[in-house]
Amino acid sequence: MPAFATFARARRSLGPRTAVVLGSGLGGATAAFAERASVDFRNVPGLVLPSVQGHGGRLAVGTWAGVPALLFLGRLHFYEGLPWSVITGTVRVAAKLGATRIVLTNAAGGIHPALAPGGLMAIREHIKLLQPNSWRELASSGGPSGPYSRRLLELMQAHEARAGCELLAGVYAALTGPSYETPAEIRALAACGADAVGMSTAIEAEEAARLGLEVAAISCITNKAAGLSAAPLDHAEVLANAQLSVGRMGELLGRLIATPLRE
């Protein structure tokens, strides 16, 4: 495939060690990224094209403010009818292409009172409700967990503090979708310690950690979760509100990409 061959040559030349996965509507966060080459997901072994609006399905290599990086423009979801082995394909591709650090981003609904549309949350732990009987398993599991790098979490908070912003380090609840949660489910998630809710990231983060990658994750808050505002939820709102924070998200991603790799 000529496109993949061009991409592969650029990747070998640049040698990126950090990969970024962009969630719904977050393509505008890439102003500092200078693309050298790209390829559609369908031309990358182990990946397929996303079917969700706001996920372009393209893998790019280039430099972010001069630092080599891999960029996944879009991701795959369980609710697209895909197995977990395909959903985590982006992570395995990143590792095979030499990445030792991955930054996962997503669009999420805010549960914590401080999280309004346009805000950001660094993920410190997650709750998984992705299988049958998940609520029962959660009750016996001891609560949230996750493989997120404390080093990168503290770096993100320090960066935001220097910019005069407070970055909440919170718990992300991962559900399967595609429907949004009910107000009763949101109340239950809040009682379990969740600060934001979405339909991705947790399994990818765990797969990345299993492969030895250092993991960071950021939620872009695109709406208040169900029952916490008067407006009904829809995907168009998610895509529109994602634009409120793409500048801040881009600066934070640039800081992470420029950070020296874990020894």
H-run or E-run covering 5: helix 2-14
**Does the annotation place 75 within a ligand binding site?**
yes
DSSP string, 214-256: EEEEEEEEEEEPTTSSSSPP-HHHHHHHHTTSHHHHHHHHHHH
**Does the annotation place 223 within a ligand binding site?**
yes
SS3 149: coil
Strand blocks (E) in 134-234: 168-175, 196-198, 214-224
> CB burial class (10 A; 0-12, 13-18, 19+) of residue 98?
middle
**Does the annotation place 181 within a ligand binding site?**
yes
Strand blocks (E) in the chain: 18-22, 33-40, 58-64, 67-73, 101-110, 120-129, 168-175, 196-198, 214-224
Yes or no: say if 251 and 163 are a contact pair by the CB < 8 Å rule: yes
CA end-to-end distance (rounded Å), the chain: 36
SS3 121: strand
Q: CA 55 to CA 57: how far, in whole Å?
A: 6
**Does the annotation place 229 within a ligand binding site?**
no
**Does the annotation place 55 within a ligand binding site?**
yes
Comparing C-alpha atoms, which of 259, 261, 254 is closest to residue 64? 254
What residue has token string 């809040």?
Answer: 190
* Residues contributing to the annotated binding site for a purine D-ribonucleoside: 181, 223
Residues comprising the binding site for phosphate?
24, 55, 75-77, 107, 200
- For the annotated binding site, the residues are 24, 55, 75-77, 107, 181, 200, 223
